[in-house]
Structure 1
Amino acid sequence: MDPEVGFTSDVIRDPARFVGRTNQLTDCMKAVNAPLSLIAVYGKRGVGKSSLMRQVQQMALGDYTLAKYAGLQGQIPQKPRKYLTTYYTCDSSINGVEGLLRRLCNDQDGEDGLLRLVPNDGKELVEFDRIKEVSAGADLKVVNWGAKGIESSKYAKTVEGDIVQTFRNYLSAIVTHQVKGKMKRDGLLILLDEFDVIENKSGIGSLIKSLSSADVKFAICGIARDLTDLVEDHASVERLLEEGAIHVKAMIPAETSQIFSTAERLFKNEIVFDPDVVGKISELSGGYPYLAQLLGKECVTVANRLSVKLVDPTVLTEVLDDVRNGTAFPTLESQYQRAIGESEDRKILLHFLAEQEDRADISADELGRVLVKRLRQDAKDVGIEWVDQLLPRLLDKKFGPALFRLPEKQGVYEFVNPVFRLYVRLRNF
């Protein structure tokens, strides 16, 4: 049985695979249908933000299949707003407003790129369904760029040397010719994933505010503890965020369990998970669907190796043995090895940090933070004297980083990737 049939570590686009997040889905519906708002999806790494963002795109196209799966039919507007959409995943080489706009104006993706929607005689656009089983989510894609290929200079209203004005002109042309003209939609939705990795976000919020209207809406998604982490000039878009701020937190156990019932359905019950196994994986994954998916996929791999169809505690034990030995998840293991280097003391220190329990007196927003002073005595008990000399590698970008320091509180740190912290807890040392 192919593990990918039921589990994936990739972004989930198909509503049939998406589980849980009822509250966030309600917020998404409200934000998509608000005439004027900025949608901001934020949270920690591994909680499923990008998958939720793709579901926002589906709703924007008029496909509310997921809302119906979740029992939210009564909250779907009678006349939902429908958009044309563009979807762009940012990367760390983008620096500032102009760098972002230059990427958007030159993105040649035939299904998600902005450029495909800009009027030009040398290309042909057709409607298509993003999820083939669903007919409601219609959008436009390029089927033929024309004989001469694609050059942004061919497009009307391109202003040489002024990418900001070019972008404004492109939006105006798309709204006039595609949104209001060919497709008769309510607006254009520009979705920007991994927005947090843009090095210099200064001015982007102001630009979004100036361009947002009943015809143009933006959605941004990224790793952040709060909205000020995600939007540098937060004050400029504060009013736009009143109906669009969507904080994605760790799943509750019942939602994590749905990942496995959904997988069983996708496997057509040729692979079945023992309820005790599902409960244990829900506990070990800490509400992070990425880790739950990885563990589920590994369970199927081991079940295949043992020629069994029931994933029982014996199968899970073998999976956890592979995780403890560092052979199950190569990406997380590579991160683990980079963090510890050649130092046995640093390895022990990393495990002490990962195992540190949350105090009972801290708020929900502070969950997951670690305090170095709380492990100094434990470190001394095992013969580690120089904790402060071991920490810098764990904070160094060249080696991860595994941790980041919270500037507002001395001696307080957080794991950059909560899934990595959970992996360290499972790993032998």
Structure 2
Amino acid sequence: MEFAERHDLLNKTFTPRSPVNQRQLFSGRIDQLAKVQRAVESPGTHAVLYGERGVGKTSLANVAEQIAPIWNSETIALKVTCNSNDTYSTIWRRAFSKITFSEKSQSVGFLSETSINTRSFAETLPQELTSDDVENALQRLKKHARLFIIFDEFDRVFQASSTLTLPFSDTIKSLSDNNYDITVLVVGVADFIGDLIAQHESIERAIVQIPMPRMSSVEIGQIIDTGAARLEMAIENPARQQIVKLSQGLPYITHLIALHSFQEAITNNDANVNKGHVSIGIQTALDEWQASIKTDYVKATTSVQKKNIFREVLLACALAEVDEIGYFAAADVRSPLREVTGQSYDIPNFARHLKEFSSENRGKIIERTGQAKRLRYRFNNPLMRTYVIIRGVAEGMIPLEKIR
């Protein structure tokens, strides 16, 4: 493969800035896809796919949209990406606008000609849609095809507008009660699920809840191997393991580091990626990381006191054992802080740091919940946690071997 061809293909293979939308590049997530498929094939059943940012929810939604017609040839699959300005009406109008139909029209006169016009289904509906309008529209559509409708990043709407919760829950309940051959897949972070179900507790029976955990080391490795094979390149095992460990189960990080590591190898006309290429790839990834995360990190760790340990405590927080939804306790910070600093600290020695990380002065980088002596902590942005770890390794604060 020529340099130019490989370079062009690289940017289509490792894509940290956009979700995967090609089936052949999608790795892992067999269990989650199988659960989505079962929901699509079960009339009256709907699904909620939830997980942290960066775990690949949108990539899975893209693949599900592509392969749903393979599961059933009569299925029309469509995906809507929600945003904070959306309302109940706008998200459904965007869904219906993706469905088009053709109609004949004939010009006036003796020599009139028949033409075929394509119209959006949304054009046949009221401008402002109510739950009744949506249900009536879906009734019309179900006569012609099975529908699989994906609402991605749905939590953005919930965060911006509490008025959407009830009508959307009403629609899900109605579709389920009437056993329509229509499946709705809602995708987002976990926090919105309770609000969605709270409006109609009975809809919980009709919704398959599909958690999207971080990827396993095997699945992360598959992303690297698939990309290397596509580029007709190889990666040495120590280099591969370095990317796997630093990815922390987040495919976004895998794509980011792999992109720059393979780029370094290609630039040097090397067909094999080694640890030297990955080291440079890591540094480039840190340099190009989201500006907001880098800014928040500096704000959280900067102090006028020369012998402060804000950087060390934050790294220990990132290395702490967490529960299934990302929370850790102060006691979980002690062991990794000892590994980072080589000293033993009791909780009172760093409790102030944990409190400050959750304050406005340090950018509220960490969320704090619970009562005194039962406080729990969680990074507000999971990508920040990974950034802190990678930066800690790059700056020699913690050896790679200590990363779990």
Q: Secondary structure of the equivalent of 1:26?
A: helix
Contact 1:402–1:416 (Cα < 8 Å) also in 2: yes
Match of 1:114 in 2: 96
Cα RMSD of the aligned pairs, angstroms, is 3.5
* Structure with max Cα Rg: 2
Contact 1:358–1:367 (Cα < 8 Å) also in 2: no
TM-score where L is the length of structure 1: 0.71
Match of 2:369 in 1: 406
Q: Secondary structure of the equivalent of 1:341?
A: helix
* Superposition deviation, residue 145 in structure 1: 5.0
**Partner Cα separation in structure 2 for residue 223 and residue 90 of structure 1:** 13
* Superposition deviation, residue 309 in structure 1: 2.0
Contact 2:44–2:175 (Cα < 8 Å) also in 1: no
Which of 267, 270, 288 is matched with 1:305 structurally? 267
Amino acid aligned to 1:237? I
Q: Secondary structure of the equivalent of 2:24?
A: coil
Amino acid aligned to 1:353? L
Match runs of 1:21-100 below 5 Å:
21-62=29-70, 80=72, 82-94=74-86, 99-100=87-88
Which of 160, 170, 182 is matched with 2:137 structurally? 170
1:353 and 2:314 aligned: yes
Match of 1:207 in 2: 171
Identity %: 21
1:338 and 2:296 aligned: yes
Distance 1:284 1:417, change over 3 A: same
* Superposition deviation, residue 348 in structure 1: 5.0
Contact 1:118–1:173 (Cα < 8 Å) also in 2: no
Relative to its length, the structure with more helix (as a share) is 2
* Superposition deviation, residue 421 in structure 1: 0.5
* Superposition deviation, residue 283 in structure 1: 1.0
Distance 1:81 1:119, change over 3 A: closer
TM-score where L is the length of structure 2: 0.75
Which of 178, 188, 193 is matched with 1:222 structurally? 188
Amino acid aligned to 1:255? E
Distance 1:42 1:315, change over 3 A: same
Which of 216, 223, 233 is matched with 1:252 structurally? 216
Distance 1:291 1:37, change over 3 A: same
**Partner Cα separation in structure 2 for residue 18 and residue 300 of structure 1:** 18
Farther-moved stretch of structure 1 (13-22 vs 338-347): 338-347
Q: Secondary structure of the equivalent of 2:21?
A: coil
Match of 2:382 in 1: 418
Contact 1:32–1:81 (Cα < 8 Å) also in 2: no
Which of 241, 249, 252 is matched with 1:279 structurally? 241
Match of 1:102 in 2: 90
Instruction: Provide, for residues 200-251 of structure 1, a one-character-per-residue CA deviation record: whole Å limited to 9, x for no partner.
Output: 253122321113433222110111169426655362321112xx22111111
Aligned length: 354
Runs of 5+ in structure 1 lacking a partner? 64-79, 108-112, 124-142
**Partner Cα separation in structure 2 for residue 239 and residue 381 of structure 1:** 48
* Superposition deviation, residue 414 in structure 1: 0.9
